[in-house]
Structures are given as structure tokens and as C-alpha cells.
Amino acid sequence: MGIKKFNPITPGLRTRVAVRRDELTKGAEPEKSLLMTIGSTGGRNAQGHRTTRYRGGGHKRRYRIMDFKRDKQGAATVHSIQYDPYRSAFIALLEYADGEKSYILAPKGLKQGQKIYSGTGVAPETGNCMFLAEVPLGAVVHNVELRPGQGGKLVRSAGASATMMGREDRYAVLRMPSGETRRILLTCRVTIGSLSNEDHSLEIMGKAGRMRWKGFRPRNRPVAMNPVDHPMGGGEGRASGGHPRSRKGTPAKGFKTRSKTKASNALIISRRKSSN
């Protein structure tokens, strides 16, 4: 797919790096029956208090209702590959033999007109949904369920994939994109393949206005605040701010926040690789 750069005819295009969208189906319109409106909160809760900072504005969007469960048996034809403003990966519009349509996350290499399957006994090919009990070792998967029938919760962002490492008793062993290795029940469903739009992380907005279009407002540095606003604020002159920490005082840069008594700790074989 690749990326594209622009001639610097404007200041915003000088550093702009965009992702090519050759995979998308030209002229494809969103399926109206699978669209819904999600109101913008601007970071406010039901009482009107700001609970999330640096949010507000942004272009109006319509949410595409996704089928994360893939529990409809049989074959489906890929009607089109489309862009979704609410997620980083591309999405695919499926059409079943009975006329029903649904959106799924589009894996890398999925083509318009291709047939994909869901259920038991299907081949481990790109786009097919199957139970972990049938996934071959070394296979690359995405849209991983945590509990049977819940729908995919893990590995849903652009270019992400998990690897099937083995089986232990009634569990499958998966290596996650973070490097974590954990057990997941064999009765959970996954989709074969890695997700599309793998160059999403290389995108550069080029100007602050593009972030405003996406609903993000400017963020000021903690060291520039007053002590009443942030633990890193205050001081005479350009103070360093001390140890990096959040607004509520939680240390950053490697401080572990996961509960030591969390039940799912027993399912984690090895923790993710630290960057420090």
C-alpha cells in the first residue's frame, strides 16, 4: 500500500505524510442500514463536567455497526473495502447469500468479490473466522475473543496481529502485538490474517488543524502549569518538573499500574516487553 508525500505548496503539506488508500473500493458508499449517529461529548459527562481534557470540536461522523462476533455460519462475499472514521484499520462490507449485510475488520490482502467463511471446519485462510481449537500453530490472527460468544476484543487496530503459539489443556497460547504471551480458551473465535492499513503509524498530520478536525484540542505541557493544576507545575524559571507523573500523581516511565490480584493474571504466561 505505502505512503505518499506532497509538494510543499502550503506549510501544512510540507511535512504531511499520508497513507495510500489503493485498497479501498472506488465509489463505495456506506451501507445506510449499518450506520448510526454517536453524539459528540466534548469530554463532558452527564453533569456537564469536563472529565477528559483536550477534546472537543471535530468533523461530524457516522458510526459503522461492526460484526465482531462473526457467529453467522456459512459463506459471505466481500462487497467492498471502505474507510471507517472511528478506527485505524479499514473495514469490509460483507453480503451473505440471504441478502444480509454486515461490516467486519478488513484483514490485509482481502479483495472485493472474495468469499470468506465462518464456523467450524473452515480453512485457515485470510478473512475466515474460526475457533482457536482449529487454528494451526504459527497462524497469524486478529479480532480475538476473551470470552466465548463475547465478540472480538483484542488485536483490532491497524496492522496488528497475534500469533498462535500452542495449546495447553483447554487453552490456546497467543503472543499478542505487545509481546505478551497469554492463554485464551479454545472455544473463543478469532479471524485469520493481520489487519489492513499497516502503514497507519507512519502518517504525519502536517498541521495542527488536522488534529482539530479529528476532535483533539491543543494540549499544554504539565511543566508550564501551576502547582495547583499539576504535580509537575510550578517552580522558579524553567524548572524541570521533577519526576514524570500524571495529573493525579501516578508515576510514568515504567510504573506498573496493573492490579496484583486481578483474576486474569493467572492466564498471562509472560508480560509484555518493556521499552525501558
Does residue 219 fall inside a structural domain? no
Q: How far apart are CA 1 and CA 219, in angstroms?
A: 32
Which domain, by its residues, includes 47? 21-198+265-270
Q: Are strands 268-270 and 189-192 parallel, antiparallel or unpaired?
A: unpaired
Does residue 3 fall inside a structural domain? no
Instruction: Report the domain count for the chain.
Output: 1
Going by C-alpha positions, the residue among 108, 78, 83 that lies closest to residue 93 is 78
Does residue 73 fall inside a structural domain? yes
CA dihedral over 259, 264, 269, 273, signed as positive or negative: negative
Does residue 160 fall inside a structural domain? yes
Report yes or no: 203 and 18 within 8 Å, Cβ to Cβ: yes
Report yes or no: 49 and 157 within 8 Å, Cβ to Cβ: no
Does residue 12 fall inside a structural domain? no
**Average pLDDT, stretch 209-227?**
95
Q: How far apart are CA 97 and CA 95, in angstroms?
A: 7
Predicted TM-score (pTM) of this structure: 0.91
Residue 48 belongs to a domain with what CATH number?
Answer: 2.40.50.140
**Average pLDDT, stretch 101-121?**
95
Cβ neighbours for 256, distance < 8 A, ≥ 6 positions apart: none
Segment 153-199, tens digit of pLDDT: 999 999 999 999 999 999 999 999 999 999 999 999 999 999 999 99
**Average pLDDT, stretch 202-226?**
96
Segment 120-166, tens digit of pLDDT: 999 999 999 999 999 999 999 999 999 999 999 999 999 999 999 99
Does residue 260 fall inside a structural domain? no
If pLDDT is split at 50, 70 and 90, which confidence band does 2 have? confident
Which percentage of the chain shows pLDDT scores above 70? 99
Does residue 276 fall inside a structural domain? no
Does residue 259 fall inside a structural domain? no
